[in-house]
Amino acid sequence: MQIEPGKLRSSGFAFGTPVPSPIPAAVSAASGLEVTSKDINKEETLTSTRWSSSTLKLSSAGQPKLESQWRDMEWTEEQKTSLMKTVSSYRPSCHDVTQARVLLLGPVGSGKSSLISSVQSVFNGRVTNRAMVGSSSTSFTKKLQSFNIHGEKGEDPTGLVLCDIMGLGDGEMTGLTLHDILSVIKGHVPEGHKFLPDQPVRSETAGFVKRPSLKDKIHCVAFVVDASKILTYPKGLSTTFRQLRKHISDLDVHQVALLTHVDAICPETAKDVTQVYKSHYIQDMMSKAGALLGMSTSYIVPVKNYSSELDLNVNTDVLLLSAVDHILQYTDLYFQDNTPQPTGPKIE
């Protein structure tokens, strides 16, 4: 489907105003709003979560805590090593493509750039901030940047490239347009292109890729949303996410989501990352993120980025690597669906 830039700009495609400050970390899970929402995929339905009092107990912070993990996760050095090998050895199943390109897409301040730096830190063996990170209500990232994820201790690049892009801001004058987002996914936008609100991507744009090959395109989209802002995001954001997802799905690109800043909403998880899948409040917030995105929670994983830390933590690493592994599973579906099938010799 070809979309004219002018029509998109006049449609008022926007992402609402910058959100207020994050909700307090000690907010009681019992006060969370119940959400019921249908996924845009017909066969999937999100239902409001019901909790059994026999499976919950209160943490030291007064928040409901589950007796066992609601997703299985091993928090060991061995699991970290295994996940690092999985990511390091990943190669796209399509022989025409050497690296899978994953686009991180989300509101300003959701933690996209921090995620890239955090993943790179795990493989570097120390906390680094290669992707420049901002903290204001306007996007620090203004251009398309692709970051190779290198193997352990600076080895050759893995088969994964994380693409950072301007955040979804408070309208056309500060955020991305739907047209520009789709142009990136289709592979038309050159590396380093700076996005300007009054200059949508066109065929006349410098470096415009007129006939993108499979390696130029985006092979998976990972939406990034801030757990501490889920309840305060603008009301129209859900409609916009669903519009985005529909157009991206039309391009046969799979989508997942990452819920960042989970440590900001759960004091127990802030102290001990292994508690993330025992937190009733984080599980409830995952459902609300699913309703916001129009996405089943099976596509969503929680993450904790490195921010003020100077040293790596094995449990934080496991959570980050598990998120990357989650992304790669859906990335490979794209290649399975889009790899040209070999044609054999004609039989007379």
Q: Check which CATH number belongs to the domain holding 217 and give it.
A: 3.40.50.300
Q: Work out the average pLDDT over 151-178.
A: 78
Quick: pLDDT tens for 240-256.
899 999 999 999 999 99
Which residue has tokens 């609100």?
197
pLDDT band of residue 170 (cuts 50, 70, 90) is low
Least reliable range by pLDDT among 84-93, 131-140, 290-299 = 131-140
Report the C-alpha gap between 125 and 123 in whole angstroms.
5
Helix (H, G, I), strand (E, B) or coil at 51: coil
Helix (H, G, I), strand (E, B) or coil at 18: coil
Asked whether residue 75 is assigned to any structural domain, the reply reads no
pLDDT band of residue 27 (cuts 50, 70, 90) is very low
pTM confidence score: 0.80
Say if residues 190 and 180 touch (Cβ distance below 8 Å). no
Quick: pLDDT tens for 252-309.
999 999 999 999 999 999 999 999 999 999 999 999 999 999 999 999 999 999 988 9
Provide the domain limits for residue 157.
97-128+142-336
Asked whether residue 231 is assigned to any structural domain, the reply reads yes
Q: Which of 158, 92, 90 is nearest to 124 (CA)?
A: 158
Asked whether residue 81 is assigned to any structural domain, the reply reads no
Cα distances (angstroms) measured from residue 327 to each of 67, 84, 258, 280: 28, 14, 9, 24
- Per-residue pLDDT at 270: 95
* pLDDT value at 46 more than 50: no
Say if residues 218 and 254 touch (Cβ distance below 8 Å). no
Alpha helices per DSSP H over the chain: 5-10, 77-88, 112-124, 178-186, 237-250, 267-271, 280-293, 314-338
Helix (H, G, I), strand (E, B) or coil at 235: coil
Asked whether residue 59 is assigned to any structural domain, the reply reads no
Look at phi and psi of residue 267 and say left if phi exceeds 0, alpha if psi is from -120 to 50, else beta: alpha
Asked whether residue 290 is assigned to any structural domain, the reply reads yes
| Strand pairing class (56-58; 45-46) | unpaired
Name residues whose C-beta falls within 8 Å of residue 129's C-beta, 6 or more positions apart in sequence. 117
Least reliable range by pLDDT among 53-57, 97-101, 205-209, 341-345 = 53-57
Report the C-alpha gap between 314 and 79 in whole angstroms.
9
Asked whether residue 280 is assigned to any structural domain, the reply reads yes
* pLDDT value at 140 more than 60: no
Asked whether residue 302 is assigned to any structural domain, the reply reads yes
- Per-residue pLDDT at 37: 40
> Helix 77-88 and helix 112-124: axis angle, to 10°?
100
Asked whether residue 242 is assigned to any structural domain, the reply reads yes
Cα distances (angstroms) measured from residue 237 to each of 90, 240, 293: 34, 5, 9
- Per-residue pLDDT at 64: 64
Domains held by the chain: number: 1
Quick: pLDDT tens for 179-229.
999 999 999 999 999 998 788 999 999 999 999 999 999 999 999 999 999
Report the C-alpha gap between 92 and 345 in whole angstroms.
26
CA dihedral 234, 28, 112, 131 (to 10 degrees): 130
Report the C-alpha gap between 291 and 214 in whole angstroms.
32
Name residues whose C-beta falls within 8 Å of residue 239's C-beta, 6 or more positions apart in sequence. none
